[in-house]
Amino acid sequence: MAAADSVDSYLAAEPKLGARRLAHGEWGLTVPGETLGGDGLDVGLRISDGLLRAQAMALPDAHDLDAWMLLWWNRQTRLVRFACTRSRDVWVHADLPVSAADERGVDRLLGLLVEGALAVRGLRPQQP
């Protein structure tokens, strides 16, 4: 099965994600906030250069977060990595070779992406 078909099949089986196909090989989805115990997570998926790529902004305006810690985390993770913009938005990125992008691989990729986003969100001090 082609990677795009595997992604379509996986997303069709998960209606709570509110998935939408944006173009051939591109999707958007939203992990509901009630699933995450907080804010929802908007995820972009794209097949490009032999990879299924996923990305999501995990934490906006994270000026209170030590961005250098993300570099250390990047050395500890598989498939997933963290990035920080100049405005201190923290993004989570994940890549999977299209050869491994069956439904199980897509599930693993998205699960690790969400797990990474939750880990970053857990670093922010709770507001009273």
What phi and psi, each to the nearest 5 degrees, are found at residue 62?
Answer: -90, 55
Judge: domain 3-121, CATH 3.50.50.60. Answer: no
Long-range contacts, stretch 43-50, CB < 8 angstroms, 24+ apart: 43/110, 43/113, 45/7, 47/3, 47/4, 47/7, 47/98, 47/101, 50/97, 50/98
Question: What is 72-112 written as a DSSP string?
Answer: HHHTT-SSEEEEE-TT--EEEEEEEEGGG-SHHHHHHHHHH
End-to-end CA distance of the chain: 50
Please tell me the predicted confidence (pLDDT) of residue 53: 97
Whole-model pTM: value is 0.89
Q: Give the CA-trace dihedral at 72, 78, 83, 88, to 10 degrees.
A: -70
Q: How far is CA 43 from CA 59, 75, 99, 125, 127, in A?
A: 13, 23, 21, 24, 25
Length of the chain: 128
Please tell me the predicted confidence (pLDDT) of residue 128: 55
Domain locations in the chain as residue ranges = 3-121
How many C-beta neighbours within 10 Å does residue 12 have? Answer: 10
- Point out the residues of the chain with pLDDT beneath 70: 1, 125-128
Please tell me the predicted confidence (pLDDT) of residue 127: 60
Please tell me the predicted confidence (pLDDT) of residue 79: 87
